[in-house]
A and B are shown apart, each in its own frame.
Chain A
Amino acid sequence: MERKKITFKINGEEKTLEVEPNKTLLWLIREELKLKGTKRACERGDCGLCTVLLNGEPVKSCLVLAVEVDGSEIITVEGLARNGELTPLQRAFIEHGALQCGFCTPAFLIVGHWLINRNPRPSREEVIEALNGVLCRCTGYRSIIDAILSVTKTEK
């Protein structure tokens, strides 16, 4: 197995390293870079908990090889807050109690941020549709949807 050199940006920081081609982007993020916000669960594309932004688009990082991200830009949940200050969406999750165990929260934040960036005033249906690929097994989706919608209202 030939190791490959890859260069990419993660949360604004440029990195160059060598990876084995059978490692996933999820592995790269969690094990190599020790960013544990992104979660590993089903590892087969069903749960969406490993979702990160790859070149601005949400992807399930368990289904992407690390070697594929050469030349790309990645944002994980750790890259959302600026200078230690939470984003309005992160604060809204706290205010709405949009989490219970919190295992799914990083993924919902990533998809939520992507959605708001792309479409600052989504309808409830559009929010639901965007969240389709991420599963929460605790709290139910209403508070998560409400948290996202509350931000889109105050920001308009």
Chain B
Amino acid sequence: MLPKLDYSSPRTLGELLELLDRYKDQAKILAGGTDLIVSLREKLEKPKYIIDIKKIPELGKLEYREGEGLTIGATVTFKNILENPVIKDRYSVLWEAVKTIGDMVLRNRATLVGNICTASPAGDSSPALLVLNARVKIVSKEGSREIPLENFFTGVKKTVLKPWEMVKEVLVPEPPKKSFGRYLKMMRVRSEDLSVVGVAGLGYREGGEIKIRLAFSSVAPTPLRVKEAEEAFAKPGPIEEKIERAVQVAVEKVSPISDVRGSAEYRLNLVRVLTRRLLKQLVEVV
């Protein structure tokens, strides 16, 4: 049984923001429902009001503009993302990460913005979005603000969002020219599982030099970009040494815990193995 609640489905963004402003933390936003309904049933969330945002057309925006990048609206599902040829082609790291989430039936409903707002340390789309330098557009009745995704997470399942605010869309800039990205995820079983460790990487060249961006899931209270490891590629030296230095820094910077999916030691070892594997793949391609 779900707790008692009231339901509304506004037709415009203005109406929605009005409701959020009125109900504040008594309200929860419903998009795909794949996380929210579970938390309701497990009494982790006890909102008085559910605001269904699926009837607001502008939130379904999924748009790519050459040179500017990608806009992913609040009701865009993982299915929409996987079916988008531009994302598959130019944002391969995001496409790969989304492909590992849940299963095909779940991805029909689950949304990318929902995945971010749940702010699980194990969220798979976040590391990919982090290496793509994604930004989050937050709106409220008062107005709007835009922040880097890196500054969006504040702790386990916590974000900077105020109760009267919502994420309208995620903005993903055009990736560097000829960049190549991958997401590697270790799961306990071959499908339909949260990550034990996930690592996203993006490689590209700048002035002939290889540059790398790296981010992780399930190794810290929030999805984590590790810029210190990326800096290994800024210094001169043989590429093998840069990779090893980056791996070492990554291992130092993460702070995994032990849980049902794996022990902290196992996770640290996976960070070492997966980061090395990923970096080798990236430097081979770019």
Contacts and interface: CB of A to CB of B under 8 A. Distances in A.
A62 B104 contact: no
A132 B191 contact: yes
A135 B172 CA distance: 35
Contact of A22 (B5, B32, B104, B191): B5
Given A130-B104, A132-B103, A24 B2 contact: yes
Contacts of B2: 22-24
Given A45-B106, A129-B104, A21 B41 contact: no
Nearest to B7: A21
B281 interface: no
B4 A1 contact: yes
A68 B37 CA distance: 12
B105 A48 contact: yes
Kindly name the residue among A46, A64, A68, A129 whose own CB sees the greatest number of chain B CB atoms within 10 A: A68
B133 interface: no
B262 interface: no
A75 to B, nearest CB: 14
Nearest to B32: A63
Nearest to B102: A133
A51 B5 contact: no
B109 interface: yes
B52 interface: yes
A2 B50 contact: no
A59 interface: yes
A82 B13 CA distance: 43
Given A48-B103, A59-B108, A133-B103, A67 B192 contact: no
Name the residue among B6, B7, B32, B50 with the largest chain A CB count within 10 angstroms.
B7
A43 interface: yes
A28 interface: no
Given A1-B5, A21-B5, A22-B3, A63 B104 contact: no
Given A22-B1, A45-B38, A68-B52, A132 B109 contact: no
Given A63-B34, A63-B37, A68-B54, A58 B4 contact: no
Interface of B: 1-7, 9, 30, 32-34, 37-38, 40-42, 50, 52, 54, 102-106, 108-109, 191-192
Given A22-B40, A65-B7, A129-B104, 12 more contacts: A1-B5, A1-B6, A22-B3, A44-B42, A46-B192, A51-B105, A63-B32, A63-B37, A64-B37, A68-B54, A111-B105, A133-B105
26 contacts: A4-B7, A21-B6, A22-B40, A23-B2, A24-B37, A43-B41, A44-B38, A44-B41, A45-B34, A45-B38, A48-B105, A51-B105, A58-B105, A58-B108, A59-B105, A60-B105, A64-B109, A65-B37, A65-B50, A65-B52, A68-B30, A68-B33, A129-B104, A130-B104, A132-B104, A133-B192
